[in-house]
Amino acid sequence: MATTAVDPVIAALLARNETVAVAESLTGGLVSAMFTAAPGVSRVFRGGVVAYATELKHTLLGVPAEHLAAHGAVDAGTARLMAEGVRERLCSDWGLATTGVAGPDSQEGQPVGTVHVAVAGPDGSHVQTLALEGNRKQIRARAARAVVMLAGEQLTARVSPSE
């Protein structure tokens, strides 16, 4: 069986007996689909929230309205707050988030391909800002893969609770 991008993340979560939840904007459920395609993932995957509309980032994920008004949805801080919010609201050890501009038009003054991915975990939050190339489908897929890779990096960097 071919290894997928989420396999190392799932393995690390299983080894630590930890869970993950996902908050998605521009990826529209792709990250959740990557996780739920793996057999047995229900032991670690709590769920996902697709908060495509800006106001849902506030009402469902707890991103402060003042932050959204000042910085918008396409913002590194918004990605961090989304990851922290989904982690808290879905009672998971880890929260992943994606936000950005997949196109075809710019948004909030940000060019197509501007993407922010975030991972919130027991030791804090980490955000990556990316300038992705490609069409809408490619940008969304690359953003989904990027947040999974960031989660893998953070899980690998973290000392397991038993150590």
pLDDT at 161: 52
User: What is the chain's pLDDT, residue by residue, as a tens digit (163 residues)?
Assistant: 566 999 999 999 999 999 999 999 999 999 999 999 999 999 999 999 999 999 999 999 999 999 999 999 999 999 999 999 999 999 999 999 999 999 999 999 999 999 999 999 999 999 999 999 999 999 999 999 999 999 999 998 875 555 4
Residue-by-residue DSSP string for 83-145: HHHHHHHTT-SEEEEEEE--SSS-BTTBPTTEEEEEEEETTEEEEEEEE--S-HHHHHHHHHH
**pLDDT at site 159:** 57
In the block, tokens 């993340």 appear at 9
Domains of the chain with CATH codes: 7-157 (3.90.950.20)
pTM of structure: 0.95
pLDDT of residue 143: 98
Q: What is the pLDDT of residue 160?
A: 53
Report the distance separating Cα 7 and Cα 59, nearest Å.
31
